[in-house]
Structure 1
Amino acid sequence: MNILFVIDCLNLGGAQTFLLRLVRALAPNHNIIIYVLYPNERDKQLEQSFLNGLNVKIVSVFTYTKISNWLVGKVGNALYRLGYKTFRKDITDRLIVNRLKFIILSEKINVINSHLFASDWMVFQIIKNTNIRWFVSMHGCYETFLHGGYYEKFKLDYIDHDFIEKSECVFKRANGIILASDKNKKINSYLSQETVNNVKQKKIYYGFQPNHFVKKERSEYNIPGDRLIFGMVARGIKEKGWKFLLNSFMGLINEGFSNIHLILVCDRTPYIDGLKEEYTHDNILFTGPSYSPLEWVHLMDVTILPTYFSGESLPNSVIEYLYANKPVIACNTGDISTMVSDQDEKAGFLIPLTESNRPDQEALTSAMRAYILDPNLKIKHGEIAKAAFQKFDMNYCVESYLNFFQDK
């Protein structure tokens, strides 16, 4: 099968990481092309860490260089003063559309699978009057854009009606919608009943198969064997809850629990740099970005994700925690409760979100304290984590995707 995957960007992030894992699993038996809408948002090292040695094409229109950036900026500024305010976006979109059309025709694409809304909307505009099969994979951005967008733009009391109109178009044309979480169904309430009834929707959990990694050792960081290590892996944005974790950790240190450490695995951002300057305790380690976070997760005793990110659905970090058989402390958002469950048991603690949509600070501290006071709890929850991970089997995920693509 000739499959075209379309995504906004390929950098460190949950949707991007899952897509690369899915492509790696499909590549031996299918002709795979990944189209990245925005070429300057590609992390080549990330791509190589997943796809090195595989026959997978990753294409974009072009990459902005300093010279092209300067030239487009100069022309754009001149046209802006003449009243043409969207020159750069318009020329980029035109190039993207033309290149995508060419790929679809020249590669004899059988199926398109788009990830993230900008990609969905771009694909819709290109194939809306064709019969090519197209499937949308949801990752949480629809329920975010519904309320204005990410971060400071997100307002629960605001509804973006233009976005709803575009979503209606996407759902009417798509052959199927793949959900990562029940939370992704929220947009259905804002679409016409006819549209919702006529499009197939199926929840398929991400599959997980680890990259090659080498476990970190405590001795490399002068951490004695009797210390309890808490840890977190996520993007370096405040909505992942970094400051809440740091505050709980420092609170426990101030209570007299000196035999604990905290390892934070994240990309370098101005926000994270600010936290590094604010929290300088010797028992806190900021690692910087990692293309194989499991090398760090295996070093941790208890893993944490106090996220209040509006688009949170099925966080990859939690899947990695479970794969490593680690207890999980995480906020009760998206599908996290189901993720960490095996039958009626939880592989850790779920932290409620307050009325202001922030992690309950005391609940987070209390959950961390529980592992300090009861060493057996780590063992018990680790065993449940091992069983809970089974729902993320990559073979089942690939089979489910292919069957959905083929109406099986």
Structure 2
Amino acid sequence: MVLFNAVSQPTHAAVLSKLDVGVAYYEAGAADAHLDEIVRRHDVDIIHSSIWWADKTVDEYRDKLPAQIPWIISMHGCHETFIQHPQIDGTFPERMQRMLTRASAWVYTAEKNLAIFDSYPRPETLLRIPNGMRTEPIGTTLRRADLGLREDALVLCLASRAIASKGWGEAVDLTATLNAQGHKVDLMLIGEGPAADAVRADAPAHVHLMGQVANLQDYLAIADIGLLPSYFVGESLPLVLIEMMAKGLPLIATDIGEIASILGEGDEAAGILVPLEGEGVDRAALERAATRMLDPGVRAAFGAQSHARYDAQFTLERMVNRYETLYSDVGALRWKHPETHREGPG
């Protein structure tokens, strides 16, 4: 297997440390990171891009790649974002038209991803494969005291890119409100970025910045509630919620992207869904959800349902099996290309 990092976001050593030693790793911009050469060097059978900037990289090498190699594009929220914010990348319309001609199959993780096909033709091969996660064993014995957490506090955990629209400010304010009401609540914030820098500068009470970590499951194991008050426009099917469900955490998350389908509803719900308000979070509803979760019985019920939903729908094995079937289906296909495309080796 070959992993090509398009470097659209900062690369963290903690994440890279999780790669299997058998994976050949390249970063865009490096001297040896020419996609066409990598494909031939490793005798790649299928190209699979899963973020717009990776799709764009494949398109940039369109005249140098082997003509018959299949190309699968997985959509996680980038594509429909460009409809609302075309200024992000002015090359998107031209490239998108070309990708629709060339790609062998398209995968979407959330119904909202399909909004792009209100503006562009729907591809012939389009299927949904939800993300999945593996339940990882606890690697270290983390203790609350070692992290500065109060032993008798209710611990909220938000793990995401540290950008404002992931709800970092809202989570900090919620923690302050609950403590002001007399509840012992601590907040773990996991991730790095401008929102983390802003929180660090203010140093609010009972808020603990953990930075980027390689062993997220260890931190989730000492949390009481998983939190994601996101209003990020590109939110699709956030993996972190699935990781939290794998640990049986009750969830509080906003109604954006595919989060409602992750949490479920009624007696099978994994947590409480919080509505958006305007361009942000309904803060009153967020506070009500957290107040409800102060009840240990409520947390226990949601936690049990959270783990049950993970087992039923979001295991890594379930996702891998679906992709294996897709790889098999496209393996015999030629990579679609215009008549003018240069032929290359198979």
Aligned-partner Cα distance in 2 for 1:370–1:50: 39
1:39, 1:62 within 8 Å by CA — same for their partners in 2? no
Deviation by residue 1:81-105 (Cα, 9 ceiling, x = unmatched): xxxxxxxxxxxxxx86xx2112223
* Matched residue, 1:332: 255
2:187 alignment partner in structure 1: 262
Aligned residue in 1 for 2:46:
111
1:254-303 Cα offsets, whole Å, 9 max, x none, are 2222x222222222x3432222232421x221222211111111111111
Which AA in structure 2 matches 1:203? Answer: R
- Letter of the 1:400 partner, please give it: R
Cα distance between partner residues in 1 of 2:148 and 2:7: 42
Of 69, 78, 94, which residue of structure 2 is paired with 1:132? 69
Q: Equivalents in 2 of 1:295, 1:50: separation in Å?
A: 18
Contact 2:143–2:222 (8 Å) recurs in 1: yes
- 1:37 equivalent in structure 2: 6
Residue deviations 1:140-198, cap 9 Å, x none? Answer: 1111122226xxx67xxxxx885233212112211101111111111111013xxx1x4
Instruction: Provide the residue aligned with 2:58 in structure 1.
Output: 123
Matches within 5 A, 1:38-187: 38=7, 41-51=10-20, 54-60=21-27, 63=30, 99-127=34-62, 130-148=67-85, 163-187=92-116
Matched positions, count: 326
* Letter paired with 1:362: A
Work out the CA distance in 1 between the residues paired with 2:19 and 2:67. Answer: 33
- Structure 1 unaligned residues grouped into runs of 5+: 1-31, 65-94, 155-159
**3-state secondary structure, aligned to 2:142:** coil
The AA in structure 2 aligned to 1:46 is V
Amino acid at match of 2:305: I
1:214 aligns with 2:140: yes
Aligned pair in 2 of structure 1 residues 46, 349: CA closer, same or farther (>3 Å)? same
**Which amino acid in 2 is paired with 1:314?**
L
2:107 counterpart SS class:
strand
1:312 corresponds to: 235
Match of 2:242, SS?
helix
Q: Does 1:201 align with 2:154?
A: no
Spell out, residue by residue over 1:53-104, the C-alpha distance to the aligned partner (whole angstroms, 9 max, x if none): x31111246549xxxxxxxxxxxxxxxxxxxxxxxxxxxxxx86xx211222
Partner of 1:358: 280
Classify the secondary structure of the residue corresponding to 1:311: coil
Question: Which amino acid counterpart does residue 160 of structure 2 have in structure 1?
Answer: A
Q: Distance in 2 between matches of 1:105 and 1:207?
A: 30
Query: In the alignment, what sits opposite 2:338?
Result: none
Structure with the largest fraction of helix: 1
- Matched with 1:17 is none
Q: Distance in 2 between matches of 1:138 and 1:40?
A: 17
Q: Which ranges of structure 2 fall in alignment gaps of 5 or more residues?
A: 331-346
- Distance in 1 separating the partners of 2:266 and 2:119: 33
Deviation at 1:306, TM superposition (A): 0.2
1:386 equivalent in structure 2: 307
Alignment of 1:4-43 (within 5 A): 32-38=1-7, 41-43=10-12
Displacement of 1:226 in angstroms is: 3.5
Cα-to-partner distance string for 1:337-384 (whole Å, 9 max, x where unaligned): 111227752111111111x22110000011111122x22101110010
Identical counterparts, % of pairs: 24
**Are the equivalent residues in 2 in contact too, given 1:215–1:294 (CA < 8 A)?**
no
Q: Which residue of 1 aligns with 2:197?
A: 273
The residue aligned with 1:290 is: 213
1:137 maps to a residue whose letter is S
1:285 and 1:39 mapped to 2: Cα distance? Answer: 27
Computed over aligned residues only, the root mean square deviation of the Cα atoms, in angstroms, reads: 2.5
Residues 300/38 of structure 1: CA separation in 2 closer, same or farther (3 Å cut): closer
Q: Deviations over 1:90-149 (max 9, x none)?
A: xxxxx86xx211222333221110121122123134346822111001111111122226
Contact 2:14–2:212 (CA under 8 A) maintained in structure 1: no
Q: Deviations over 1:220-266 (max 9, x none)?
A: 34645432222211111111001111112211222222x22222222
